[in-house]
A = this chain, B = another copy of it.
């Protein structure tokens, strides 16, 4: 039985300009984070903005993970949406892992979930 869906949004600050502007690095960070959470990549795309900043998304067997970066302010946001439940500890560990890859000095996260227990 499916447990519904959980969506975690991470906000990073103090991240390194060059890393936030590197599609390959950001893509790799998303794929690695997904793998660490036991999730499997199935497709991906990205878009580079002018003069800087990028959006990248990896579709997973269990939903998706996407990043949006603002190199000019050292900010990045990552949203992980998954039908696989994650503990608070797992959510925080993933945030720390992503922060290390983005060279960020800090991260905060918010999670919401929708269950299949709602009205049918």
Query: Please, how many angstroms separate the alpha-carbon atoms of A113 and B42 in the complex?
Result: 28
- The majority secondary structure among interface residues of chain A is strand
Chain A residues at the B interface, C-beta cutoff of 8 Å: 2, 4-5, 7, 9-11, 13-14, 42-47, 49, 55, 57, 59-61, 63-64, 66, 68, 70, 73, 75, 77, 79, 81, 83, 106, 108, 110-114, 116, 118-120
Question: Assuming A2-B73, A47-B43, is B114 touching A112 (CB within 8 A)?
Answer: no
> How many copies of this chain are found per oligomer?
2
CB-based contact A64/B68 at 8 Å: yes
CB-based contact B13/A5 at 8 Å: no
Nearest B-chain residue to A106, judged by Cβ: B119
